[in-house]
Chains A and B, each alone.
Chain A
Amino acid sequence: MARTIQSLERAAAMLRLLAGGERRLGLSDISSSLGLAKGTAHGILRTLQQEGFVEQEAASGRYQLGAELLRLGNSYLDVHELRARALVWTDDLARSSGEAVYLGVLHQQGVLIVHHVFRPDDSRQVLEVGAMHPLHSTALGKVLSAYDPVAHSEVVEAEREAFTPRTVTGLGDVEGLLDLARARGWAADVEETWEGVASVAAPIHDRRRMPVGAVGITGAVERVCLDGELRPEIIAAVRDCARAVSRDLGAGRF
């Protein structure tokens, strides 16, 4: 039999004990039920409390199960929920930047577009919800790969196709771009996926600071860039939008 970790077994036993009915238990109840020294039991409870799995009632000092346990059960953020929360902010981003807005999440080995706001001119445009974009070359993909470890391992393992002469495909170079994205809090794609097209994206975080998606604008390179540089007001607008959606999802200010 494989070796087990005693303190984890004890923690599990405590959670089971607290889960037995709608009850709150004091430290001595818990330690005597499990045959533990009070000090040992207290150490485990304090750790569980820090992780949010156990809560202590202020008045009586008794322990009960914590809200984090519930969240573990349904931690996955529904992408349609994400779109509903992002709707107002992405509309505003399209208005202020004058460009099309995309919201993407990691799906299999790429970026799934879950929301798309048209560029606010009267030109004919087609809704691209449901389309897949590559991880290594797009702004959305780079943001996801920089912040989400699962996306990161996908981009490392993937065959990184060169879509244009500007596509960065070497692993070391891609890692460099992801480091830069993490350091700046945003990523760009200037003609690395499509000729003549540039985009800027920033990460969306949920309540627990987990990266749940990325939002960005995409437009003609001559509008998004000025004298070969990305326009700073567009970068600022994208980051404001990402922060606003994150705040709506319950992430703290940052």
Chain B
Amino acid sequence: MSETPTTSSHGHGPFIAAIDQGTTSSRCIVFDKDGRIVSVDQKEHEQIFPKPGWVEHDAAEIWTNVQQVVDSAVEKAGITAADVKAIGITNQRETTVLWDKNTGEPVHNAIVWQDTRTDALCKELGRNVGQDRFRRETGLPLASYFAGPKIRWLLDNVEGLRERAERGEILFGTMDSWVIWNLTGGVNGGHHVTDVTNASRTMLMNLHNLQWDQKILTSMEIPAAVLPEIRSSAEVYGEAAGGVLAGVPVASALGDQQAALFGQTCFNQGEAKSTYGTGTFMLMNTGHEPVNSYNGLLTTVGYRIGDQQPVYALEGSIAVTGSLVQWMRDQMGLINSAAEIETLASTVEDNGGAYFVPAFSGLFAPYWRSDARGVIAGLTRYVTKAHIARAVLEATAWQTREITDAMTKDSGVELTALKVDGGMTSNNLLMQTISDFLDAPVVRPMVAETTCLGAAYAAGLAVGFWSSTDELRANWRRAAEWTPRMDAATRDREYKNWLKAVERTMGWLDDES
């Protein structure tokens, strides 16, 4: 009935190498044609905190690390450039670097997406309209994450930079552009490009025509000369100029969350993935038209394969998920390891009436209330630390529910199943709870490294290593599936209680600052 299982696909080429330039580390993973991991290498880089709220990376260090992990992953796989058909790139989104075109030297540390130094600038850019001033064009609210205001800050604060930029001596890039430019030769003819997904996080690209928006550039006072060319997510940008992979085509770029969407093969409208890490990012494929959000979500580009029509996505993020478990471990000392949260929570049947809303730095999607702060509501003498542990896991599940509800309202598409990845998917109780609260199946794929896999998939499509998205879909394997077990009445009552607890977080800070 079944074909003979292959026990060793490793060692038979050809392969695709994916580079994941992430927030804390750079990684390279070599994949085979079945999408299985052949080898991995990873190196962390320094997190630089010059002031409270500021986060920087040394882009030169990152480029050195990228070269090292590529060399090492290829060496571990025991292969050569001839066995590698393409290189794919995925990256931390929005992190911004400006560098000198002629020397290749960064003019300042890269400003990381988490950095909040542009808060005041974003308020100022909102003028009388507020944070939605550029939402119609870009799909984004004016917030400190996005790259455009970070470029403006650098031009305003690095001495002489604006003049050099206007003379055409300076290049801007998110980390995809920085890696591709260096990989394809740097000062010796490196290609200065970005892909549509990364460009959609700058606040400078018009979502409808996928071009830089001249009006916004003028409003933000950013010279067009610094900007890379916007290309699709899956096409050959150039060839690696040096290193062990010299001559191999560089053939994809995707922001990390979009790469995970691609790696989870969410190629149909209405398919969604959620990545559970320190925070959680959920993206839903909304098809070929950008969907405006009236429920606090972001509109972004999901991916674009070559000259095919672009695919758009709605995005919702939860600021505090895995980090709430870490807080229980490090600040509260209620558990010794992150995995123990499940052990503790499993000692009780329910939350004992307690609800934990971890609005540590305000409420994000779909509320966007910066005056909110965390609460634990419903406390009685009955409540134990185990109930609190349960409430911690339920907080992640309810926030997932709030985002899927917002996505359904905005897109009109009912979620049929949620594909999950990330470290917290090893938490069985959490996955079951999410399924219970969503009243939908939750599915974990067999390859946990969906981000790198997405970049590999896009690169492989660009060079014909894989023929179509259908072939990629056939590679997708279900490793586990959780189905809802909660009755509707319980779910509705609990959701109501959660929403009451959320209400109690709001207005804690007197003035929004």
Q: Is A225 an interface residue (CB 8 A)?
A: no
Q: A98-B5, A99-B5, A234-B7 are in contact. Are A92 and B37 (CB under 8 A)?
A: yes
Are A127 and B481 in touch, CB under 8 angstroms?
yes
Q: Is B340 an interface residue (CB 8 A)?
A: yes
The number of chain B residues with a CB under 8 A from chain A is: 31
Q: Is A91 an interface residue (CB 8 A)?
A: yes
Query: Which among A80, A129, A236 is the interface contact of B340 at CB below 8 angstroms?
Result: A80
Q: A96 vs B482: C-alpha distance in the bound complex, in angstroms?
A: 23
Query: Which among B2, B34, B339, B447 is the interface contact of A84 at CB below 8 angstroms?
Result: B339
Q: A194 vs B171: C-alpha distance in the bound complex, in angstroms?
A: 66
Q: How far is the CB of A198 from chain B (nearest CB, A)?
A: 14
Stretch at the interface among B46-54, B192-200, B258-266, B472-480: B472-480
Q: Is A4 an interface residue (CB 8 A)?
A: no
Q: Is A97 an interface residue (CB 8 A)?
A: yes
In the complex, the chain A residue whose C-beta lies closest to that of B35 is A95
Query: Which among A80, A97, A98, A125 is the interface contact of B343 at CB below 8 angstroms?
Result: A80
Are B6 and A96 in touch, CB under 8 angstroms?
yes
Which residues in B have their C-beta under 8 angstroms from that of A116? 480
Q: Is A108 an interface residue (CB 8 A)?
A: no
Chain B contact residues, majority secondary structure? loop
Q: Is B342 an interface residue (CB 8 A)?
A: yes
Q: Which of B6, B339, B447 has the most CB of A within 10 A?
A: B339
Q: A95 vs B34: C-alpha distance in the bound complex, in angstroms?
A: 10
Q: Is B108 an interface residue (CB 8 A)?
A: no
Which residues in B have their C-beta under 8 angstroms from that of A221? none
Are A91 and B446 in touch, CB under 8 angstroms?
yes
Q: Is B218 an interface residue (CB 8 A)?
A: no
Query: Contact flags (1/0) for B324-338 with A, using CB distance below 8 Å?
Result: 000000000000111
Which residues in A have their C-beta under 8 angstroms from that of B343? 78-80
Are B426 and A84 in touch, CB under 8 angstroms?
yes
Q: A80-B426, A84-B426, A92-B37 are in contact. Are A127 and B339 (CB under 8 A)?
A: no
Q: A83 vs B341: C-alpha distance in the bound complex, in angstroms?
A: 13
Are A95 and B426 in touch, CB under 8 angstroms?
no
Q: Is A204 an interface residue (CB 8 A)?
A: no
Cβ < 8 Å to A, chain B residues 431-470: 446-448
Q: Is B157 an interface residue (CB 8 A)?
A: no
Which residues in B have their C-beta under 8 angstroms from that of A129? 428
Q: A58 vs B447: C-alpha distance in the bound complex, in angstroms?
A: 46
In the complex, the chain B residue whose C-beta lies closest to that of A79 is B343
Are B5 and A92 in touch, CB under 8 angstroms?
no
Q: Is B36 an interface residue (CB 8 A)?
A: yes
Which residues in A have their C-beta under 8 angstroms from that of B426? 80, 83-84, 87
Are A127 and B480 in touch, CB under 8 angstroms?
yes
Q: Is A237 an interface residue (CB 8 A)?
A: yes
Which residues in B have their C-beta under 8 angstroms from that of A50? none
Which residues in A have their C-beta under 8 angstroms from that of B337? 78, 81
Are A91 and B7 in touch, CB under 8 angstroms?
no
Q: A127 vs B432: C-alpha distance in the bound complex, in angstroms?
A: 10
Query: Contact flags (1/0) for A85-104 with B, using CB distance below 8 Å?
Result: 00110011011111100000
Are A233 and B340 in touch, CB under 8 angstroms?
no
Q: Is A149 an interface residue (CB 8 A)?
A: no
Query: Contact flags (1/0) for B2-13 with A, using CB distance below 8 Å?
Result: 100111110000
A-B contact pairs, 28 of them (CB 8 A): A74-B336, A78-B336, A78-B340, A79-B343, A80-B342, A80-B428, A81-B337, A81-B340, A83-B339, A84-B339, A84-B426, A87-B426, A91-B448, A92-B37, A94-B477, A94-B479, A95-B34, A98-B5, A98-B6, A118-B479, A118-B480, A120-B477, A120-B478, A127-B480, A223-B2, A223-B5, A233-B8, A237-B7
- Known pairs A96-B8, A120-B446, A237-B7 / 14 extra A-B pairs, C-beta < 8 Å: A78-B340, A78-B343, A80-B427, A80-B428, A84-B338, A88-B448, A95-B446, A96-B5, A97-B5, A116-B480, A120-B479, A125-B478, A223-B5, A233-B7
